[in-house]
Structure formats: C-alpha cells, structure tokens
Amino acid sequence: MNRLSMLLIPFVFVSISPVQAQEEGLYRNEERKIQFTVPASDYDLRSDPATFRFQWKGALCEISSRDSMVGGVLLYFPAAMKAQKYAQWREKSWKSSPHVKKYDRVNDTLWKKKTGEWLVVEHQMEYEDYDYHYLTLHLAHKRHNFELVLWVSDTIWDDYREGLYGILKSVRYGDLPAPAPKAEIPAPEKETTPEPEAAPAKPELYLNREHGFRLLVPPTWDLRNGEFQFDLEGTLLEFEKGEKLAGVLGFHEGAVALEEYTGAFLKGVEKTNESFEDLGTTRTDSGTLLRQCRGKREQTLMRYSLLFATHGDRNYHIVFWTAEKDWNLFEAPLAALLESFIFPTKTGVEKKTSAKPPEKKPEVSHPWRGCNAGSWSEYRTVTEEGASRSEMGMRYHLLEIGDGYYRMRTDVRVADGWVRGEPIRIEFAAGTKEISPADLSKGSELVEVPAGEFLCTWAKRATGEDRSQVWTSDEIPFRMVKSLSLSGGKKTTVTLVGFEKK
C-alpha cells in the first residue's frame, strides 16, 4: 500500500452568508458567491421563486427585458461536472426534447478565469414554431455548476448581441467585490476567540451511486471529486475546511479483512510522521472501525480521525487530519460526518428493529414497474452485417396497468412516419425466477445514450460465438437503456433516444 501524503494545502476560504437584498440591476448571491448586472433601465430581475415565470429547474434568478424581447435564467446545480461536459449534457437534453425541431451550435469560446475555464456557447434552436438564438455561460468550480442562459428571437439577434455579451462579462464568481457601503458604517467588531464548529443544522447530502454510499457534509466545507491534490491511491473525494482541516475518502479493491486493512493503513500513516501515538479503536453498530491517532509532522502536532469499512469486494477509508490545537473546532462535525457514512443497500444499516415486519406480497418484476399509463420509451435499433447497415425506430407505450397485468402498444418508425401497433395484454406472475447460467455476469456502469446519462445495472451473457449485454435502469419506463447483441457476423445495437415517465 502506498504511503499517505499528509501535507495540508493552503486554501483561501471565502465565508458564506445569506443571499443579499438585490439592488436594481444587480443580482448578488452571497451563499453561492456569484453576481452579475443588467442595465437597470432595460431589464427586470426576479430572485424570488414565487415570482418566477419560466419555471426552469435549478433557477436562482430570472431576467426579462422591458421590451419583452429577451428572457434569461441563472441556474445552479451541485453536479461537479466540468463546463464542457455539462454543456454537452445540456445540448443532448435539448436535442432529445420533442419540442425542439432543430438545434445548431454556432459558436463557442473559452474564458480563462481564476476558478478555471468558463465556456460561452451560442446556439440556434427551432423550439416548436419559433426560432431562437441562445447565449449561455457555463461556469464550473469544484462541485458547483452554473448556467447563465439568455435568449432572443433569432431575427433580432444582431441588435441585442453586444448587450447580452455585456451581461455575461459582468459575471463575478468566488471572491465577490465588496458591496456598496451603506449610509451608516457599523462600529468595528471586537476580536473574539474562535469557537468550536458545531455540527451543521442542514448538512449537504453526497450520494455516490457507483459505489453505493452516501454521507452528509457540512455545507461550509469544500469537496472535490476530481483533480485531487493529495497523493493517496483510490481517492473518490477530498475535503477541505480553509487551511485548518483536510481529508480523503477512498477505496481499495480486494475485500481484505477489515482489521488487516486498518492495520496496514495505519502503518502507512505512522511512517509519514516523526512520532506516532494510537489513541484507540471503536467498532460502530454498522460494523465499521473508527480509529483515532496523533502524530508529529514538520514540528506540528497532528490529530488524525479515520473510519474503515468493507462493502462488497472493496475496503473503504475516510481519513481527516488537522493540527492538534484545532481539534476541538472540528470534533463535533467530524463525528457527525463519519456517523453519516452509510451504504443504503447494506442490510440492517439504515434501520434496525426487533419488531417482526408485516408480511408483504412479493413485488412483481416487470418492465413498467413504477410507471403509470401514458409512460413511453423510444429506441433506435441499428443492425450491421458486413457492409450492410439498417436502422429502425420503435416506441413502447404503456396503455394500462392493473393487478397482475399490463397493456402496451409498440409503434414502429418507417420512411413515411410512425406505424401504430395493436395493443396487447401481458399477464405477469409473482415469484418468477430469473435465469442465472454460469456464463452470466452482472455489474453496474454509467451509460451515455442519446436520451442522456444513466446509472445502469448490466447483464452479460456468452453462449458459444453469440454474445449479448443489456443495460437497464429503474428510472426508465420499460427499463432498458441499451442492448448489444453479437451473433455470427451480425451486430445489433439498441439505444434509448427519449422517454416520458408518468
């Protein structure tokens, strides 16, 4: 096992305060550390969700020109995606919308900023019966993603282009300039001794679907899930709280015995310290091991808090380190974070009870489970054999679902349009066993298809020269996201291109 690198990286932290009251023409959000301006004589800003008109998911603010020609929204998502990746996801969502008849990206530019690269994208879109010109700023920093989207009729784009770019150029993020001084200047605050940081009232949930764990992170701590700074193999997340606290969450393949894994890891910590003292071990109710230790690095007395867990065929570790003199500042929130680390699928972890649960009827597994009538999924099927290639579209509609049956219809796309299929009724029975031959393997994977990105479970089967693999997700009506079949010289690929779940 590689040694740990326990060097604290200096990090300038900007304190977070509530959203500031908006001045005319200025949107300023202290919590998200972002602001921009619009010409007050030409535009209105709406930052109260009760007044929003466009109803975009994730909206922080809406923009409307007084001549009713320009609309806009500022969106925020804790998606932790790079700006280019997020822009690609947004474009795919546009293209898959049944309301969008045409979409073209006409220009894109990268702006170099202290917080990384900001991406500016122009695109033309025919939405229903209207032609629009969109101007979008994509801003990504750590786990924060912002979009500032402005739109105007494509026929008058040239008249508004300069003004709309001016709004984008006014965006400030991170270290916001000081707000305008008020009429009364408050007396200077007295110096106070820092108080211990209590566990936050509303911690932020972090959910890792690939590994199956979740934990609650204090909202004022910084979290990285890429571009890691600490030299530790298998890292999934890094934590920082100013210059005082740092931490890592990672894993190791192999399902080593928990005690053996813990001991080997602690030896790595010990080797990076001039002196080392083990402060004890605690086994939690969920079966994890909590370790506390103290060391000395570069004349600084350090305190380490570590949690170890085993799940499936992997071992997980969470390691936090801080100067011993600052330990009392973080003891409470650290305890809350480590206690929140949980694998929701692990039996008995989420809720334990001695009462005998009521008997339930076995849940029936079928492709429309969790859907209501009106749900549909559309697929593109591509068949390749030698130089021959054919393509077909299919759309499955759920017409009715009842006790022990469902009714569905399959429409097929041909050159002249869609051919409506005949409704069929399918009976299903509880307790049907799935075939699990020895050559069937399973796993999970993030899959990208024309309809978007989905966390899927997959099943792969090989029989002689024939091979097949199917990716499914319970989020999708009809469940299938993608399938691949190889038989002889024929290759058939089916991908999800659109859906609606009701």
pLDDT tens for the chain, 502 residues long, are 332 333 222 222 222 233 333 456 899 999 889 999 999 889 999 998 888 888 888 899 999 998 888 999 999 987 667 888 889 988 988 888 888 889 999 999 999 988 888 999 999 999 877 889 999 999 988 778 899 999 999 889 999 999 999 999 999 998 888 876 655 545 555 444 454 544 444 677 787 878 888 888 888 888 888 888 887 888 999 999 988 999 999 999 877 888 888 988 888 889 888 888 988 888 887 788 999 999 988 788 999 999 999 988 889 999 999 999 889 889 888 988 998 888 864 333 333 333 344 455 555 678 888 899 999 999 999 999 888 888 889 999 999 988 888 889 999 887 777 888 888 888 875 444 444 444 567 788 888 899 888 888 888 887 777 888 999 988 889 999 999 998 888 899 999 999 998 8
The CATH code belonging to domain 204-340 is: 3.40.1000.10
- Quick one: which of 336, 347, 352, 350 has its CA closest to 290? 336
- Token code pair at residue 411: 């429409």
- What per-residue confidence (pLDDT) applies to 359? 52
Distance CA(22)–CA(43), nearest Å, equals 14
**Maximum pairwise Cα distance, the chain:** 83
The answer to whether the beta carbons of residues 63 and 71 sit under 8 Å apart is: yes
Distance CA(389)–CA(239), nearest Å, equals 50
Question: What are the Cα distances from residue 113, in Å, to 16, 110, 172, 214, 455?
Answer: 21, 9, 10, 32, 32
- Token code pair at residue 199: 């566990």
Residue ranges of the chain that CATH labels 2.40.360.20: 376-500
The CATH class, in words, for 376-500 is mainly beta
- Token code pair at residue 472: 């499914």
- What per-residue confidence (pLDDT) applies to 78? 78
- Quick one: which of 372, 373, 309, 298 has its CA closest to 341? 309
Alpha helices in 291-424 (DSSP H): 327-340
Residues with Cβ within 8 Å of 159's Cβ and at least 6 positions away in sequence, in order, are: none
What backbone torsions phi and psi does residue 492 show, to the nearest 5 degrees?
-120, 125
**H or E element in which residue 87 lies:** helix 83-95
- What per-residue confidence (pLDDT) applies to 492? 93
Q: Calculate the CA dihedral of residues 158, 164, 168, 171 and round it to 10 degrees.
A: 160
Distance CA(399)–CA(408), nearest Å, equals 5
Residues with Cβ within 8 Å of 220's Cβ and at least 6 positions away in sequence, in order, are: 15, 16, 200, 241
- Residue located via tokens 């990504």: 140
- What per-residue confidence (pLDDT) applies to 67? 82
Coil, strand or helix at 205: strand
Question: What are the Cα distances from residue 273, in Å, to 9, 247, 305?
Answer: 17, 16, 15
What backbone torsions phi and psi does residue 423 show, to the nearest 5 degrees?
-65, 145
The answer to whether the beta carbons of residues 382 and 391 sit under 8 Å apart is: yes
Residue ranges of the chain that CATH labels 3.40.1000.10: 26-173, 204-340
Is the pTM value of this prediction over 0.85? no
Residues with Cβ within 8 Å of 382's Cβ and at least 6 positions away in sequence, in order, are: 389, 390, 391, 492, 493, 494
What CATH architecture applies to the domain 26-173? Answer: 3-Layer(aba) Sandwich (3.40)
- What per-residue confidence (pLDDT) applies to 166? 94
- What per-residue confidence (pLDDT) applies to 365? 73
